Amino acid sequence: MRDEDIDLSDMPEVLDWSKAEIGKFYRPPKRSVTMRLDGDVIDWLKGYGKGYQTRVNLLLRHAMASAAGTTTSRKTGLRQQRSRAV
């Protein structure tokens, strides 16, 4: 099917992008890692149910943003952290 064959009549064209949010749905790529954590830490994380690895990621992201002194931007936080280390 070609682009010209697609019927867009029921989908109006967006002309006002003033309320658009840049990066709203951005998700950084995931990488697989192996970590050795204390058993009680794993038990605590798994005690909240399914998704403990997601919780680990959120906790580490919060710690990273706190150390950088910001919670607004992932990329800015990383830049601030690196500039402090120099």
5-42 per-position pLDDT tens digit: 988 888 888 888 888 888 888 888 999 999 999 999 99
Q: What integer pLDDT is reported at residue 77 of this predicted model?
A: 42
pLDDT top residue among 69 and 38 = 38
Question: DSSP readout, 18-78?
Answer: TT--TTTT--PPP--------HHHHHHHHTT-S-HHHHHHHHHHHHHHHHHT-SS-HHHHH
Confidence category of residue 81, pLDDT binned at 50, 70, 90: very low
Q: Which pTM was predicted?
A: 0.52
